[in-house]
Structure 1
Amino acid sequence: MLKSLQDLRSATEKYPAISPPHPCPCEHCATLTPPQEPPETPLQRLFNIMTRSEEEDAYSPFKDFISNLDRTKLLGLASLLTSDPDYFLEIARNKNGSNRLQKLLGKSDDVDNLLCAAILYRFLHVMTNKNASFVATRGLRVFAGKKKEFMCEELIHNALHLARDQHGCVALNEMLTDLDHPYYRNQLLDVVAYNALWLSNDASGNFVVQHVLKLKDPRATRNVALSLRGNCIDLSFKKYGSYIVERLLEADESVAVVVMELLESDEDRLMRLARSEFGNFVVSKALRVTQKRMTRVDLFRGLVHKLMPSLNFLRKSRGSNIAVFLESVYQY
């Protein structure tokens, strides 16, 4: 193993040595023995190579370094990197370290086995860190067979925790986009869909629900709509909740769920929604999408009929855009 570090030493030797300062001529200083720094360990040397600045890397590119390693030395490098979970995580959390770990992924099956095991061992810590999560998402793209299955199972098991984390939700969305395994992809979409109401009311989780709807998967969209049925008006009063409801209005599988809830609400509640800061956009969108869909003409007429008696109140509120639309329809 230590023999594989000879190449690591040669990389550090490219940097010019710093000459020691001239000794002080005073006799007192000459009697003092300066403290000796402990010798650099192989792990420290490797850490410095993995996390060095972009300027240093330009001087001695990491991609050139690993391209000169044969299979055995490359495996030795990966073994050293993954020998300690905390050490691996510290490198992965570093921006430069994350980039260089990503370059190692896909080089060989043996190397991928070690890196996959290291990611899985500290999965939540990796996925909830901005830089480290890039290593995991890259891994999901290049892993195949059992490695991909293990990654998917861990992802599904921790999906709700990740969805409610500031960085975890971003990583989860990336994996939802890239996951090309139909069985696990459907399972992951189901976890989000069945917990859509809970996630929609969460500061980070709502972005995951929005992302699932952006994927335009008919089955997932229908399941999200069913989970949110009866709660669409409450969500529409909130900024990010209104974004989710607007996404539901865009899909054939879910538009009726939202509009029927608007039609079944009492007039006072609908009017408060139409005049609210975020709800007015939802009501306006409901009118426009049902007008364009010939198969939803009954829903469109029902909304117009329910809103027209309050036209004057809408004109003097945030719902003025709705009033303008209703007037154009009435004149037509």
Structure 2
Amino acid sequence: MGNLEWQCNLLFPDPVYMPYFQPSPVEAYSGASQYDAMVSRGTAVGGIPDTYDPQKGLMPASYSSDQRPQFIRTGVSNPNPRIGGPGSPTIYGCPPNLGVLMQYPTSPAASPVYQGSPVHGRRNENMRLPFSPGRNAATSAGWPGQRGRGRVEDINADQHGSRFIQQKLETCSVEEKASVFEEVLPHASSLMTDVFGNYVIQKFFEHGNPEQRKQLADQLAGHVLPLSLQMYGCRVIQKALEVIDIDQKTDLVRELDGHVMQCVRDQNGNHVIQKCIECVPTGRIGFIISAFRGQVATLSTHPYGCRVIQRVLEHCTDEMQSQCIIDEILQSAFLLAQDQYGNYVTQHILERGKPHERSQIINKLAGQVVQMSQHKFASNVIEKCLEHGDAAEKELLIEEIVGQTEGNDNLLTMMKDQFANYVVQKILETCSDKQREILLDRIRVHLPALKKYTYGKHIVVRVEQLCDEETHHEI
């Protein structure tokens, strides 16, 4: 049997099984979109950090660098050539017969891959065939029988074929994997930028042997920049950077020299730059870090740039280069704290920075705590100051809030504010027992008035909880 015919037999079942197959939507390949939107204080502003606080509608400080497998949400059979097009054959256009990788159980209804409902969500009347393993699919009613189609490169670019190959590459034998790889390699370049085919290439990077990985990475050489800027190619580049050997990583990443800022500002390329920072030793990507010099504040206020800067803070091992980045952030900390993206970079320093770096930020914000607490983005930074500052720094911030100014009660103003009320709650969580006692005494005076305000009610609930806890503790 010829290799091409063997591959077709390898991948496609007898059509009598087809009524039981249910093609999953594209997002079944992955649970989340790559390009998250960031939200702060409950308003979508362009990119998403790690988790969500349902009480506040607030996202915490740092972006996750984990880029989950991504899919563009599209229909099963969209004719648009940009997402597969008419050139991407469906499973109907391929020859029949069970192949060596297709080990379905006796009952087609128990298929582990496509269990459930009929093809394309509705049953084709012509496909209602009784179970008959020996039936010749080419002569079965309703079966197209187009034996000329079914080449592996076409299969890889098809939703169901791609998904099936991905699953089988995890469990098939070395010989079977090598045979499929032989067919895939000549078409790797086109599959890398295909909506479905890119996942097959990623799967080979993940489950291939070192030589197969090397050969696939060789296909990337000379094309790293355009692939990094392409919706699906950028994912292949990221996967390659996770698994190939260090010398080949270095060679590929070097192709981005001179194009770093272009990639950082690109919705696809920024993920590649983040992966470079995570997976390649700092000593081999000095040109990337150097490209940020003098641009850190600007990048920190960019929806993609702020992610990249945080990856540098997490992974840069060159003390001198890292300090240059941090110094530029500290110089602009007051302005960054108020920016919809820059506030995440400022919070990152407060969470993970050195004590003297935290102190610099807190000292820059001191004197403006009440005003900053009422700011949509800066209020998040104030909370981080209270959470990570030392005892003396917390005392400084709390005194500024609790301290009575002539004709103005800062505490009452903050408790009624839509953002500052969360800062007051954070004070109650993080302050000393003595400070909490003083603060509760001050708050109790205002409880009747607070019950009339939407945001003041949050404080009332929190104070009642604390009082109940104290009572329970005394008992």
* Structure 1 length-normalised TM: 0.69
Which structure has the higher relative contact order (CA within 8 Å, separation 6+)? Answer: 2
Higher mean alpha-carbon deviation, 231-240 vs 312-321, is at: 312-321
Could you say which residue in structure 2 is the equivalent of 1:122? 259
Does the CA contact (< 8 Å) of 2:198 and 2:236 recur in 1? no
Does the CA contact (< 8 Å) of 2:289 and 2:321 recur in 1? yes
The one-letter code sitting in structure 2 at the alignment partner of 1:263 is V
Q: Of 289, 292, 301, which aligns to 1:152? A: 289
1:100 matched to 2:236? The reply is yes
The separation in 2 between residues aligned to 1:285 and 1:252, in whole angstroms, is: 13
The separation in 1 between residues aligned to 2:294 and 2:248, in whole angstroms, is: 25
Could you say which residue in structure 2 is the equivalent of 1:281? 422
Q: Of 225, 238, 247, which aligns to 2:384? A: 247
Does the CA contact (< 8 Å) of 2:450 and 2:460 recur in 1? yes
Shift of 1:222: 2.0
1:138-287 counterparts in 2 under 5 A? 138-144=275-281, 146-215=283-352, 217-253=354-390, 254-264=393-403, 266=405, 267-287=408-428
Does the CA contact (< 8 Å) of 1:196 and 1:224 recur in 2? yes
* Structure 2 spans left out of the alignment, 5+ residues: 1-150, 155-186
The separation in 2 between residues aligned to 1:69 and 1:59, in whole angstroms, is: 10
The separation in 2 between residues aligned to 1:313 and 1:304, in whole angstroms, is: 15
Could you say which residue in structure 2 is the equivalent of 1:28? none
The separation in 2 between residues aligned to 1:211 and 1:168, in whole angstroms, is: 14
Does the CA contact (< 8 Å) of 1:194 and 1:224 recur in 2? no
TM-aligned CA distance change 1:158 to 1:185, over 3 Å: same
The aligned length equals 280
Shift of 1:96: 2.2
Does the CA contact (< 8 Å) of 1:120 and 1:154 recur in 2? no
The separation in 2 between residues aligned to 1:176 and 1:182, in whole angstroms, is: 11
Does the CA contact (< 8 Å) of 1:194 and 1:223 recur in 2? no
The one-letter code sitting in structure 1 at the alignment partner of 2:397 is V
Could you say which residue in structure 1 is the equivalent of 2:449? 313
Determine helix, strand or coil for the equivalent of 2:345. Answer: helix
Could you say which residue in structure 2 is the equivalent of 1:52? 194
The separation in 1 between residues aligned to 2:202 and 2:416, in whole angstroms, is: 62
TM-aligned CA distance change 1:119 to 1:157, over 3 Å: farther
The separation in 1 between residues aligned to 2:240 and 2:439, in whole angstroms, is: 57
Shift of 1:171: 2.8
Deviations 1:116-170 (A, max 9, x none): 3333311122112232122212212333364233333333443222211112222
* Structure 1 spans left out of the alignment, 5+ residues: 1-12, 17-44, 83-87
TM-aligned CA distance change 1:250 to 1:109, over 3 Å: closer
Determine helix, strand or coil for the equivalent of 1:316. Answer: coil
1:91 matched to 2:227? The reply is yes
TM-aligned CA distance change 1:58 to 1:280, over 3 Å: closer
Bigger proportion of residues as helix: 1
The separation in 1 between residues aligned to 2:237 and 2:403, in whole angstroms, is: 55
